[in-house]
Amino acid sequence: MSRLLKGKVLGIGLVMPSFLTLLVLVAYPVMMSVRTSLQNRAGEWSWDNYRYIFTEPLISQNIRHTMFVTIISCFFVLIIAYGIALYLRFSTRFFSKLINKLYLIPMFIPGVIAVYGFINFYRNNGWVARLIGTDNMLPIIYHVRGLIMINVWFNIPFTTMLLLSALQGIPNSIIEGARDVGATKWQLFIRFILPLSYKTMLVAITFLFMGIIGSFTAPFLIDRNAPQMLGVSMQQHFSVFNEIGQSSSLAVFMFLLSSAVGCFYIWSNMKHSKKELS
């Protein structure tokens, strides 16, 4: 029994250094932010800030816009990353090998630089416009299209990596077994590959959602001025309008949204591991 107890104490002891760091550097400031969000300008407790963010039409628009961009971006990232992962998993062609070597690179490019390069590439007088002619060019920069594109650019490597590992985890004999009984490529995908990798997709969605919903640099430099992504709006309330409380309440709101998705992920993971146990 004492060995068990020792194990428990040791476990908690080992977690403490990083957990305390987390507590001090993140959890405590989070609590402070939550507190600020619950105080009005006079420093009294009140729901004013939340009332504001839920009644101000501008913020409602921003919330809708943020959800739109986040969901659409997640959608495209998933689709494209899934496509690339499938290609890398099942093709042994020359291009697949090359892409396999290249696809991680964007993950290593500092975010500011990527946005900068992106703007220069796609702006109305940018290189693409010069190559194909301005008239043939759809507006990309200062357009939600551009924002979604850069989100795709940023998130494809990470997502592809996750999905690829899930696909590589599907044994060949499962695929071949399915072909053997007569499944077409499409049926193979719908009935086997998809069901056997959707859990990893949930993981991917969680991280995509969290990353995109809180983003600042890309929407600030690429999106239209209104409606804004919540990250930009929060920054504006904080440093332009001097509305610290309102900006905190926006942060808390974004946190709750992300947490909801995070809990979904945790829940699906738990379900998964329970099934494995049985």
Site for ligand SPD in 92-121 (CB under 6 A): 107
255 binds, among ligand SPD, another protein, none (CB under 5 to 8 A by kind): another protein
Binds another protein (CB under 8 A): choice among 103, 147, 151, 218: 103
Distance, in Å, from the CA atom of 210 to the CA atom of 262, rounded to the nearest integer, reads 8
Is 93 a binding residue for another protein by CB under 8 A? The answer is: yes
In the chain, the amino acid numbered 149 is M
Q: Which of 101, 103, 116 is nearest to 150 (CA)?
A: 116
DSSP-derived letter for residue 138 is P
Q: Which is nearer to ligand SPD, 178 or 202 (CB)?
A: 202
Q: Which residues contact 250 (CB under 8 A, 6 or more apart)?
A: 53, 59, 230, 233, 234, 237
Q: Which is nearer to ligand SPD, 62 or 215 (CB)?
A: 215
The residue sitting closest to ligand SPD, measured at its beta carbon, is: 211
Q: Two tokens at 133? A: 């002619």
In this structure, what is the dihedral angle of CA atoms 115, 116, 120, 122, given to the nearest 10 degrees? 0
Binds another protein (CB under 8 A): choice among 8, 51, 64, 271: 8
State the nearest-atom distance from the C-beta of 34 to another protein, in Å.
Answer: 10
| Contacts to ligand SPD from residues 158-197, by CB under 6 A | 158
Q: Two tokens at 60? A: 């409602």
| Contacts to ligand SPD from residues 210-229, by CB under 6 A | 211
User: Could you list the residues that contact ligand SPD (CB under 6 A)?
Assistant: 107, 155, 158, 207-208, 211
